[in-house]
Amino acid sequence: MNIEKTQNAAELEIKVRGRLDTATAPQLEAELKESLSGIEKLILDFAELDYLSSAGLRVLLSAQKTMNKQGEMVVRGINETIAEIFEVTGFCDILTIE
């Protein structure tokens, strides 16, 4: 997995490439924990995300909870497979998907 961050004032965009799974989810979790202070808009760009497991979903859920308190979170660029995962787990009702 590869994470690329772009911050513009209180807006943070994180591009995640590769697999977000048991092995890599802690890395994204740590990255978010470090970066979310003072952020009002979080954009997660998943255009190049190949694989997403429950470990990754838990990190998204936790980020969504944090952002609910301080602003908004948007997930962008998901492919068909990731969309299906959001659908079957009910995450499409929790997340804002663009």
Partner 1 sequence: MIKIEHLRKEYPNATPLKDVCVEINKDDVITIIGPSGTGKSTLIRCLNQLDPPTSGKVWVDGECITDKNCDISKIRRKMGMVFQSFNLFNHMTIIENIMAAPVDLLKKSSQQAYDDGMELLRTVGLAEKAFNYPDELSGGQKQRVAIARTLAMEPEIVLFDEPTSALDPEMVGEVEAVIRDLAKKGLTMMIVTHDMRFAREVSNRVFYMDEGGVYEDGTPQQIFDDPQKENTKRFIKRIKIFEKLITSRDFDFIKFNNDLDEFARKNLVPKKSLYRLRTVFEELCTQIIIPELEKDFVLSFQAEYSQKEETVTAAIRYSGKEFNPMDSGNFLSVSLAENASESICHSYSGEDEFTNTVTVKVK
> Which spans of this chain sit near partner 1 (rule: CB under 8 A)?
19, 21-23, 51, 53-55, 57-58, 81, 84-85, 88-89
In angstroms, rounded to a whole number, what is the distance separating the alpha carbons of residues 18 and 3?
9
Q: Minimum Å distance from CB 13 to partner 1?
A: 26
Task: Give the contacts of 55 (CB within 8 A, at least 6 positions apart).
Answer: 20, 21, 22, 25
Q: Which helix (H) or strand (E) holds 3?
A: strand 2-8
Nearer to partner 1, 40 or 84 (CB): 84
Tell me the closest approach of the beta carbon of residue 8 to partner 1, in angstroms.
33
Residue 11 or 21: the one with the smaller Cβ distance to partner 1 is: 21
